[in-house]
Chain A
């Protein structure tokens, strides 16, 4: 068995290594599901869900990688993003109900922009007032960020109330495309495309700009970057704000996906976000993407094949991956 693994490992590595995992999962699901149309629908749903989770999780992963900061309050940004976008969309009810696709697009652009702007501002406040005094102290980070999360949830309750809030969708994102026997929900395809565009932008910034180079180096060895003449703590404020804004955008997209949100949304999503960050490998954007796609696909395939196991699917996936790779699928080099 060991010999077989040793023979196969280099071949798998050449073919793409851990990046092959979602493909393997999708192929196994294809065989088990049997019906190609259902498989396509579930795969699109899984990819779309995965990309939204990626947006919510990427900031958390970078923040931990760069400054070893454990932010349990990260889900507050998701919740704020969802509620701000919901309110903005409700305010623009005339535009989103319009038959003009341009007014629809403008409404969703403004709603998502409001969520991002809110995420940036709340992220800045969070970092400067709450996180900065507890750098390098994990226990206090956990306590204070959990406290901040509770305060944030109470603020949401006070502003939006405890009843579920309905999230209107622009008219052009309602309904499904029917291609042969395959049904693809338009909103899911839109969410996938938008999140993919954000990932590509993030990737380009990290790989091809000096700021990105500093972030990647800082995740590996913060002290050495400082010894080269750079202030990582100042860079960290920016990374924290962008991470918060991405979480808020993810929350806004998730709100449109769920169409009915409650103040508990952030807390519910956060469990999945932590699982994604852990299985992807802390500090790694590529790992977070891989982990998020795996979680999205598994949740949809298992939800279809074995609904009773659906709730446990993420935990089982995390256990299996950590037994195989204790540092996650694609951890940042440390």
Chain B
């Protein structure tokens, strides 16, 4: 059984129908990538899964349970965390406060904290600094660390490489590869090289509809399909 299933998901924002028919399954474990051009509906798909925008009833199931009508906070408590495109960190709070807020009882599990320090050493260094003072890469590290500070079954990550320097992107790829070893990640990404390094399965979305699903190795080998669906040149 898939961990997450989208079945003809439709989402409207105000009077605009943004997602028309989004259908794909995210298997348990590893990194599943959602690709698409600008404005295709990738971010709306993640936000609809998270309950931040209301999808059509019955269209999102997580471990077989319909979560499409739930409040974002209830979806989070089911074991889904979200790293938004703008990172969503709390600039006025310290690094420690940003992380402690994401814990269930306000206390850190020492083992998880150790793992976070190992993945992102900068966070330990800037532990007591207010988050607004961090660099873009460090903020992204904090956003990802916050998503894994508690055990989660699925992490929704929206364009984590946007605006980051290549060296930081490499570090981020290594971190996602490690996180993906024991947690499922649904990754929205425009940087195809980054997505190619991490993804096992993928779906391509265009104009609010899924136009392709398959495995990453097959898609990465088919330059004609990449050109057709993503306007990527060989």
- Also in contact, A216 and B73, with CB within 8 A (given A221-B88, A227-B88): no
- Also in contact, A224 and B84, with CB within 8 A (given A216-B92, A333-B92): yes
Contacts of A227 in B (CB 8 A): 50, 52, 72-73, 76, 81-82, 84, 88
Other-chain contact of A230, B50, B73, B92, B100 (Cβ < 8 Å): B73
Q: Are B72 and A223 in contact (CB under 8 A)?
A: yes
Chain A residue at smallest Cβ distance from B150: A229
- Any B CB within 8 A of the CB of A198: no
Mark out the residues of chain A between 203 and 217 whose CB falls within 8 Å of any chain B CB in the assembled complex.
210, 213-214, 216-217
Other-chain contact of B77, A217, A220, A229, A333 (Cβ < 8 Å): A229
Contacts of A15 in B (CB 8 A): none
Interface size class of A (residues with CB under 8 A): 10 to 19
- Also in contact, A224 and B97, with CB within 8 A (given A210-B106, A231-B73, A333-B132): no
Mark out the residues of chain B between 92 and 141 whose CB falls within 8 Å of any chain A CB in the assembled complex.
92-93, 97, 100-102, 104, 106, 130, 132
Interface size class of B (residues with CB under 8 A): 20 to 34
Contacts of A223 in B (CB 8 A): 52, 72, 88
A interface: dominant SS: helix
Other-chain contact of B76, A214, A220, A229 (Cβ < 8 Å): A229
Q: How many angstroms between the C-alpha atoms of A230 and B72 in the bound complex?
A: 8
Q: Are A224 and B92 in contact (CB under 8 A)?
A: no
Closest chain-A Cβ to B23's Cβ sits at a distance in Å of 24
- Also in contact, A224 and B73, with CB within 8 A (given A213-B100, A214-B101, A333-B132): no
Chain A residue at smallest Cβ distance from B106: A210
Q: How many angstroms between the C-alpha atoms of A216 and B146 in the bound complex?
A: 17
Closest chain-A Cβ to B213's Cβ sits at a distance in Å of 26
Q: Are A226 and B84 in contact (CB under 8 A)?
A: no
- Any A CB within 8 A of the CB of B71: yes
Q: Are A220 and B91 in contact (CB under 8 A)?
A: yes
Q: Are B71 and A231 in contact (CB under 8 A)?
A: yes
- Any A CB within 8 A of the CB of B219: no
Other-chain contact of A228, B52, B101, B106 (Cβ < 8 Å): B101
Contacts of B132 in A (CB 8 A): 333
- Any B CB within 8 A of the CB of A332: yes
Interface string of B56-75 (1 = CB under 8 A from A): 00000000000000011100
Q: Are A224 and B71 in contact (CB under 8 A)?
A: no
- Any A CB within 8 A of the CB of B90: yes
Contacts of B84 in A (CB 8 A): 224, 227
Q: Are B90 and A333 in contact (CB under 8 A)?
A: yes
Q: How many angstroms between the C-alpha atoms of A53 and B186 in the bound complex?
A: 50
Contacts of A225 in B (CB 8 A): 101
Q: How many angstroms between the C-alpha atoms of A272 and B191 in the bound complex?
A: 52
Name the residue among A213, A220, A224 with the largest chain B CB count within 10 angstroms.
A224
Contacts of B93 in A (CB 8 A): 213, 216-217, 220
Q: Are B50 and A217 in contact (CB under 8 A)?
A: no
Closest chain-A Cβ to B55's Cβ sits at a distance in Å of 15
Contacts of B92 in A (CB 8 A): 216, 220, 332-333
Q: Are A224 and B88 in contact (CB under 8 A)?
A: yes
Q: How many angstroms between the C-alpha atoms of A227 and B73 in the bound complex?
A: 5
Provide 9 A-B residue pairs closer than 8 Å at the C-beta atoms, listed in order of the A residue: A226-B71, A227-B72, A227-B76, A227-B82, A227-B88, A231-B73, A333-B90, A333-B91, A333-B130
Contacts A224-B90, A333-B91 aside, 20 further interface pairs with beta carbons under 8 A come to A213-B101, A216-B90, A217-B90, A217-B97, A220-B90, A220-B91, A220-B92, A224-B88, A226-B73, A227-B50, A227-B52, A227-B72, A227-B81, A227-B82, A228-B73, A228-B76, A228-B81, A229-B76, A333-B130, A334-B91
Binding site for B on A (CB under 8 A): 210, 213-214, 216-217, 220-221, 223-231, 332-334
* Closest 9 pairs (CB-CB, A-B): A333-B92, A229-B76, A224-B88, A333-B91, A226-B72, A227-B82, A217-B90, A229-B77, A220-B90
